[in-house]
Structure 1
Amino acid sequence: MSARLNSAQPYVIGLFRVVAGLLFAVHGAASLFGVLGGAMGSGGGTIPSGTWPGWYAAVIQLVAGGLVLLGLGTRGAALVASGSMAYAYFDVHQQAALWPIQNGGELSVLFCWAFFLLVFTGSGAFGLDRLATRRTAAAQEPAAEKAPIAA
């Protein structure tokens, strides 16, 4: 049973990455473009361009979420996303109360830890990172292996 679960791990991580990236990117798109209900907490609409920290957080959400969704530069994008959610929790939510259930910071905490996990696991299956890795490995094969053997 354990071997079957282990063989499915890259696929489950890939699906996890897709869902987390999509949800994160949707938050950014909602805040920046007013889609899907617009900026949360403002009754819809968008966050004014350049406002700190909301607009910058939305840009990070859209870009990092999109990269994680595609599995392109997953580890770096996930690190930036995780850090932005840690900042959101400690700067915004924790001022109201200590525990996430008390201060409304559950989503920030979950996103922070989900993206932190992806920093260490990578993109899993279905990611564009894997295509880039395969191409790089193929390009680095020694020329002797590629050359035909002379008889």
Structure 2
Amino acid sequence: MIDTKTAPYAALILRVVTGVLFLIHGLVKLFVFTPAGTAGYFQSIGLPGWLGYATMLIEIIGGLALILGVGTRLVALVMVPVMLGAALFGHAGNGFTFSNPGGGWEYPVMWAFVMAAIAALGDGAYALKPLGRKSAD
């Protein structure tokens, strides 16, 4: 049974924590690896370089949107294929456990499911106006 009094706060915690983590990952790509370095890495694993730029932007903008509670369901749904792509192209060859060298695929797959759960839950408490809606969930 869902506790309707605490569920919005649970969704808030998930939304903000995942938003912060995605924002940090995007900022690391921007400031540490650099946009060109991120694009180069994507090319080195057989993906188009532009996908590195797109992933970086999705993580930064999506992370901020999750933190603020803007378009939560849409942003979370967009993050699902990003995380599955990370699992498939960046980590699949490294085994299951994320503590393996290069990180295994279990961690990004777990994040894909967390994003799917957030998409199902919705904004939670203290969200700004969702995209395309007149009032919060």
TM-score range, shorter chain: 0.7 to 0.9
Residue of structure 2 equivalent to 1:138? none
CA distance, structure 1, for counterparts of residue 27 and residue 78 of structure 2: 17
Code of the residue aligned with 2:127 in structure 1: it is: G
* Superposed CA RMSD: 2.5
Structure 1, 106-115 or 16-25: larger mean CA deviation: 106-115
Shift of 1:10: 0.6
Shift of 1:13: 0.8
8 Å contact 1:18–1:68 — kept in the other structure? yes
- Structure 1 length-normalised TM: 0.69
Q: Deviations over 1:62-95 (max 9, x none)?
A: 1111111111111111111111011110122112
Residue of structure 2 equivalent to 1:149? none
1:96 and 1:26, CA in 2 relative to 1: closer, same or farther beyond 3 A? Answer: same
CA distance, structure 1, for counterparts of residue 37 and residue 89 of structure 2: 20
CA distance, structure 1, for counterparts of residue 130 and residue 58 of structure 2: 23
1:82 aligns with one of 48, 57, 80: 80
Residue of structure 1 equivalent to 2:134? 133
CA distance, structure 2, for counterparts of residue 95 and residue 61 of structure 1: 23
Query: 5+ residue gaps in structure 2?
Result: 40-48
Shift of 1:50: 8.0
1:130 and 1:72, CA in 2 relative to 1: closer, same or farther beyond 3 A? Answer: closer
Code of the residue aligned with 2:64 in structure 1: it is: G
8 Å contact 1:75–1:120 — kept in the other structure? yes
Shift of 1:126: 0.9
Residue of structure 1 equivalent to 2:42? none
Code of the residue aligned with 2:66 in structure 1: it is: V
1:66 aligns with one of 58, 64, 67: 64
Code of the residue aligned with 2:134 in structure 1: it is: T
Q: Indicate the structure (1 or 2) with the bigger Cα radius of gyration.
A: 1
Code of the residue aligned with 2:91 in structure 1: it is: H
